[in-house]
Amino acid sequence: MAKTLQISDAEWDVMEPIWAAGAATAADVIKQLRATHDWNHSTIRTLLARLVEKKALAYDVDGAKYIYRATVTRDECVRKESQSFLEKAFGGNVAALLTHFVEEASLDREQIEALRKLLAQKKHPQ
């Protein structure tokens, strides 16, 4: 994924149904997003066009239909967003980020144990 690719929150919402389906027509994306967003079809089409311009989406034409597919995976975008958040909010300090979330989160015993195991694996890689 290009280091400069920045996806806005609205663009992220447009990407979700495409990532989920693998490919989707503009009509499919519009139908899904109108169920959860108060956006008209031209807003969604504008967001699709922006994502194509950013090279986050590509499309094929089938008659009058545009079929969109992601050129970046959701995992790639999650990694990029996570890194950006880590740098912006915590100056790149992973320990500070983890400390913040552990202190602020309500964790049950299973979650705490899963975190302990994960940290132990980091301490003693196999």
Residue 56's closest CA among 78, 32, 73? Answer: 73
For 85-122, the pLDDT digits (tens) are: 999 999 999 999 999 999 999 999 999 999 999 999 98
pTM: 0.80
pLDDT of residue 47: 97
Q: Helix axis angle, 9-21 relative to 74-90, nearest 10°?
A: 150
Give the pairing of strands 57-62 and 24-25. Answer: unpaired
Length of the chain: 126
**Distance from C-alpha of 45 to C-alpha of 27, rounded to nearest angstrom:** 9
For 1-18, the pLDDT digits (tens) are: 545 688 999 999 999 999
pLDDT of residue 125: 74
R_g of the chain computed on alpha carbons: 19
